A and B are shown apart, each in its own frame.
Chain A
Amino acid sequence: AQSVTQLGSHVSVSEGALVLLRCNYSSSVPPYLFWYVQYPNQGLQLLLKYTSAATLVKGINGFEAEFKKSETSFHLTKPSAHMSDAAEYFCAVSDGNAGNMLTFGGGTRLMVKP
């Protein structure tokens, strides 16, 4: 069965600083990987996804993530944080052996300081 671990339930950065949110996965088959963002009082929105094409995936709002098979990682980055990036971020893995159902990590709350 697949699983996802997000290191750090809370991450705080200053506005303009690099954002790095960590995600490690385990999967018995080549995975599909996703990052979702949840703004306050809203549902989850897809930020970006990896589906076995390019290993560096660009998403919305300047975010990107790199799939590293050797490290079983899919970390999310953004070069310069903006106040509007404050939200909760979820990493998810899809298992092709289980109808491509998603398993979610525990989430990381990103706080951006002025």
Chain B
Amino acid sequence: DADVTQTPRNRITKTGKRIMLECSQTKGHDRMYWYRQDPGLGLRLIYYSFDVKDINKGEISDGYSVSRQAQAKFSLSLESAIPNQTALYFCATSDSRTSNYGYTFGSGTRLTVV
């Protein structure tokens, strides 16, 4: 099993629909992140959580919300999806005790909003 699992892997949804992307990890890491990837723009941070009770907005949080249900689970929601939210979404984790080790990434969720 993967250390960081994202579901679904692919999703097509209609404009205006609510959608949730889920992320779970078995690394035991305390920190979790949501990024979106768009061609030519690299990875942009949407939200991050340093522990279950600590959730913070990233650079592009408008139109998104998150929930940290447990240390191992961090969900991203689009309350009312719009076409420019079509992107590849990645969840990542890190351990504050070994923070210079970088992040562990999930395999991504490809979201298409039509």
Query: Hey, which bits of chain A sit against chain B, CB under 8 A?
Result: 9, 32, 34, 36, 41-46, 49, 51, 90, 92, 94, 99-102, 104-107
Contacts and interface: CB of A to CB of B under 8 A. Distances in A.
Contacts of A42: 107-108
B84 interface: no
Nearest to A44: B105
B108 A34 contact: no
A46 B41 CA distance: 19
B42 A94 contact: no
Interface string B73-114: 000000000000000001010101001111101111000000
A106 B42 contact: yes
A51 B106 CA distance: 23
A28 B42 CA distance: 22
Contact of A99 (B92, B99, B105): B99
Summarize A's interface: helix, strand, loop or mixed: strand
Contacts of A45: 105
Contact of B90 (A32, A43, A49, A100): A43
Contacts of A101: 33, 45, 48
B105 A43 contact: yes
B107 A92 contact: no
B43 interface: yes
23 contacts: A9-B40, A32-B102, A34-B102, A42-B107, A43-B105, A43-B107, A43-B108, A44-B105, A45-B105, A46-B102, A51-B100, A94-B100, A99-B31, A99-B96, A99-B99, A100-B99, A101-B33, A102-B103, A104-B43, A105-B42, A106-B40, A107-B42, A107-B43
Nearest to A9: B40
B9 to A, nearest CB: 9
Contacts of A32: 100, 102
Q: Residue among B31, B96, B100 with the most chain A CB within 10 A?
A: B100
B59 to A, nearest CB: 10
B50 interface: yes
Nearest to B42: A106
Contacts of B4: 43
